[in-house]
Structure 1
Amino acid sequence: MTQARATSPNDGIAARRAALHLIEQATGAQRLLSESIAAGALERLSPPDRARAQRLATQVLRQLPRADRALKPFLVKQPPLAVRNALRLGAVEIMEGAAAHGVVNAMVQIMSKGKRTQSYKGLVNAVLRKIGEQPGEAWAKLPAPKLPNWLRGPLVEAWGRKPVEAMEAVQAQLPPLDLTAKGDAAALAATLGGELLPTGSVRLREAGQVSALPGFAAGDWWVQDAAAAVAARVLDARPGERVLDLCAAPGGKTMQLAATGADVTALDLSEARLARLRENLDRTGLAARVVQADALEFDETGFDAILLDAPCSATGTIRRHPDLPHAKDGSEFGALIALQAEMIDHALGLLKPGGRLVFCTCSLLPDEGEVQVEEALARHPGLVNDREVLARPGIAPDWIGPEGLRLRPDFWAERGGMDGFFIACLRPGARDG
């Protein structure tokens, strides 16, 4: 399918066509939504259509196995991917409450404009009309979408079948919006009508347009998942400390560290991502020294504390990024695991005596968390795994294991869950570093 072209802003065609492009890139070209968007997939759309396209694509990818189950009784054989994705989009919209006639008409119109799809417009019309005749509760009765086998297998081995099913149930839901307050989190929760979470984040169930919320323009808060915010709290930066945030962009943790009064250096390899970090610092009025460099080549030493949110599989963020299971297959994970170990070793050498390193990854795979700590301890005699600092407010004792703090999507399921994270605090000993 070619890149979406803008049409009338009021007919929904432009947004749906763009959503289909994003979905096809994820399911056919194994390309993340963020990659497609960065390449300009939505640049010709109006802001409302851009937001709608991204929302539709994200929800279809979140519910894709459910959509396929709903469609299966009405298909003798599978049509081409472009047509199948149109059916998926139409089914998700209809079964989540959109007016069936409007969705059907829009999808038929889109199919009729494509050389590869125009002969299937009758099929799309017939199948989606049948979907529209399904009882309202049919969608809710379908089981929660399962993760693909390449990921589900290792997670079941690590955490067990029941916990993985609980994670899948959370990942099937629209996630709430979490905010980190620059100042008083309780006051922010009261202002926005949100929930003050036990760990200190503020959670909104229905946020609407983020930039229109009170306090956004003033820089009183920033968007950051509650699990991600725990890592900087574990580091516990203090005023005047020299703190290094490795792999810092887009800056959520950098802002947390800067808000403590620490002397923060934020480093990242991507200049484009650092531009977002600078924008966030400007909006919030917080200060940090920003450095564009390869973390493994950065050789400045003497830091009191380092936060290393290492590149990883991002398998803990699927509740917010449901394109990942469709765009990835796990083949690149081995290289990421090797890179994480190299970055831990390098970061330890940048600390001053008595310093501390908080290592974290937004991964659900033990190889990118617990195993990394085990192997780092074996490589560095005298390295101390400080588990006491992990007992932060809101952290349940059973979330802390021998290697570190394990957060999972099924934790706080009744509240909307959280991203998957692993966090550990390492301190070089007398014989290390």
Structure 2
Amino acid sequence: MVSQSREDAALARSQKKIIAACYYAFLVNGFLSLMMGSVLPMLREQYSLPYQISGSLLSAHSVGNLISSFAAGTLPVYMGRKNAIMLLCLGGVLGYFLMTATGNPIFLLLAFFLIGITRGGITNLNNTVVSDLSGGKSSALNFLHAVFAVGAFLCPFAAMIFTSRFENGWKYAAVFVSVLCAFIILFFGASPLDNQPRLKKENRKFSYAFLKDKTFVISTGLLFFYLCTESCVNGLLVTYFADSGIVSPSYAQGLLSLLWLVIMLGRLTVAALSEKLGKRRILIATCFGAALFYVLLMLSRTALSVTVCLVGFGYCLAGIYPTTIANVSQYTSAYPMAMGTITTIAGLGSITMPVVAGAVADRTNIWGGMALVTVAVVLMTGCAISNYFLKREKASST
């Protein structure tokens, strides 16, 4: 009995070390995601990049993120989880260092692609590890994503510190994130995470019957337009505010942090109201609110109005992604390929929209590029309306 209790205690300690490494990785993932948008205006100015190239950099990041979603599921089968996480995290180390070394568009595209690889690897593998170790407890996973929001909230402040104190401070900020990524590799390397290759695969019969269901198709469209919107807002918002002259660059960085704080509060609100209101009501309300506040944001010309509209937009936008995933939970639980299908198709939105918005900005101005996002927001709202009435139709027919 004594030896058994000691073994249990040792197992608990080892699991805590692994979970601590996962939480640290998600904290850094928040920095990884937001630092790109924070340094992009300075990077574009330093290397004299057109808006279309800036949008292409964000798309390259999204491509890396998308590819990493598949790699994170495949690599552990052949090389174990620890090696897989360490390998994928190398992208962030190399990517942020590379963007400070050269202004060559090809190498910059590679840098943003590598950062996307790391971001997707951290998200997918750490979700799996924490879920397994906690027995699928939602509290552990919720805290994991809360840590991400903390990193995203702190990132613009870190960028402001470096850019205000150093010449070419954006390069110091990028190197700082590169070092944070290096510590992920060290922490997981020292952790007791299982590193045995998972070579035995389950023989499962895959089906794509869910593609025939209208609810799944509409939800996929909703998520596609959501990611069109989110990728442009996260990646080009600081550039828009800085280049339009509505607010100062430092104020714009603060707005980005405020956006993530509001998103965190919005997600908590949606979580509290989800059982009372239901998914379809939440989706239609949040999409309508996001569309309204985004239109007002594009029409705003003062610091106060921009701040108010951004808070409203972020608060409404916050719960759309998780609620949409919950809206198709019956398909993702029944069909092994459903989750990968919806995230892959929706992920194409985050790849294509920044390029299109950047091209429009080059031909008009940055306001024109960001105003184009209004189309995506309106189409997202249209999908929410279709989902609402489709669910009512199904309910009345049963």
User: Same fold by TM (over 0.5)?
Assistant: no
Return the index of the structure with the highest Cα Rg.
1
Which of the two has greater strand per residue?
Answer: 1
TM-score, normalization: structure 1?
A: 0.29
TM-score, normalization: structure 2?
A: 0.31
Higher relative contact order (CA 8 A, sep 6+): 2
